[in-house]
Structure 1
Amino acid sequence: MPIANRALLDWTFERLSWAGVSEVVLAVNYMAESLRRYFGRERYGVKVKYSVEPRAMGTGGPVKLSEKLIKLEEEETLLIMNGDIWCDLEFSVLEAAHRRNVSRGAVTTITLYEVKDVSRFGVVELKPDGRIAAFHEKPSGRVKSRLINAGVYASTSQIFSYIEPRRTSMELEVFPRLASEKRLYGFQHKGEWGDVGKFEDYLKVNFKVAEALAGEKPRVEGSAEYNSTVKLVPPVILGDGVKLGSGSRIGPNAILGCNVKVGENCQISNSVVFDGVEMEGDCLVKGSILGEEVLLGREAKITGGSVIGDLSIIAPKVKLSRKVYVCPRKEVNKPALGPKRIV
């Protein structure tokens, strides 16, 4: 999953290396071999080990399964992260806060983030001293707090004793128990954060990073081909090998991966376009995501929060709008108005 044309985990590994993390265990199930090939045994100076789940084991099971690969000294801190989280958290600051909490009896310190809509997150009630009094996973009713579980934890090795060697939920089983024993603390992160497994957050994070990287000038990574009739409206990121047709308008908030080919008079805004996409002339892409090697026929229009899966083909003049989700390797010959999934 790329963020501004760079794998999400590359961003994470880089920040971990800055914090002095020496070793990472990737708990993997889906695409395990692909991850092994990509990351190898070391990334950004951080050693990489792999803990392969034989089956889906929830959010806690993979942590327990990785215990055998982790040699934690008494004074060392264990960082646990969800793989679909992007944030600019300084891990060393979290670790320092956790060490203070350990002196007060903490086993785990959860990174917290304030949001407006708490309905799809785990919500915490925080005491003035930073201790978490209660943990509510995805509450349906009204709650006092808007602080959510941000999916990044610092812990002592004692955490392993709280997790059963089976499919286990950190949010529903482990954290409530720690909270009841007064051994769960919180640390509020006030920077940038996003759950990139969610469409809106994925786009928001990409655009935030693009703005930080590109600023008021288009960012070209490698070489790109376009003439003076092309209008680039920052923030824009163009991957290596991008070709833009005459009269096209790219941006604002447009991220194009490597080897993307755009025909004449196309418009792309508020969208992420993955590597190898090709679109013929007069196409419109707005507020959407195009997966790898998607092909758009002439005058195709993809708008309104739609997602086109890898290697799909959208026929000429087809319009897909309002959250139309096209599964990979599909050929779409008719217009569709969502919400709708094309499988």
Structure 2
Amino acid sequence: PSFPLPVVAYLHGLEGGSIARLTAIRWRSRFRLEVIYARHREILLPGFVYVIPAGEPLTFVGADILGLAPPGATSNVDHLFASAAHWYRSGVIGVVLSGLGTDGTKGLLSITQVDGIRVVQSPFEATFPSMPTNALIGDDVQYAVMLDQMGELLEALVTNPESMAVATAEVQAEVTRQVLLVAQTLTKSLDRSIEDILRVVRDDLAMDITFVTKHAGDDVVVSHSTPGPSDMRMQGRSHPKHQSLCQRVLDGRLPAVMPDVEALRLTHDVPELPVVVGAYMATPVWLSNGALYGMLCCLNASASRELDQRHYTRLQLSARQIARLINETGDSSGF
């Protein structure tokens, strides 16, 4: 038999291969689903998966009808979910699968407001866990399941929804557990990812140590760091703001690129430092909401007179990479 409802899919980065990819998924359901591309003003039929073509801002313009959004409108899954919630109310089911970023979280909130059903793929098996993770943290998701369980769940939801009312209450504890585990895993994953970037920056710029600093009251704390010469560790160290080079760079009292810190003392007020610093660079890590997360810094024990704007530009690019990671996890704690 065919699946008793139409399914609409919005996919990232699969131009030209969306249908093949979806057809290859094994949903483990007794129902058949035929995958095709959606078209403007086409009537949606049960048993079909309608893939939104890349670049076409299709949303629901009526029950079982997709149409082009007004000129200038952007196409994303949040708008698709919101339009489905408008037309189907509590009869809509929103599903967020593997993907980067926060896409789908706002859309699921729209579905929550009309008492629709919210489902995510378990982030523990997702190739890119950001989207289901952010949905779990940002909305009251009812089901978080493995992909090979998705077909059976959706089949039960559409064929016998009354039987799922009790199941929904039962799985809330499991969903809550997954949210807590995801938050813990996400923090560890973020730390590892930042440390990986720091190692690349250290090697690329040929510096002794690369690190990230954050404020903690009147002190500056090193939150992440590469090992230094002789395995010297800076992570966890703190010192007053008035002794911090990165703070003075942020305040504009010192230049962002310091090839020779000792020579700079002739023209600038350079504080006494707790470690030997010959060369230094620092750049802020700005988040998408305009908040300052911290400072990305690097140093050499000896002067590096070749340091210039080219090196600083590469440091800034790395700061933006770190900011993107932090934006995706929702960890905005910083300066």
Q: Which TM-score band (shorter chain)? A: under 0.3
TM-score (norm. length: structure 2): 0.26
Please state which structure has a larger fraction of its residues in helix: 2
Task: Please identify which structure carries the higher strand content.
Answer: 1
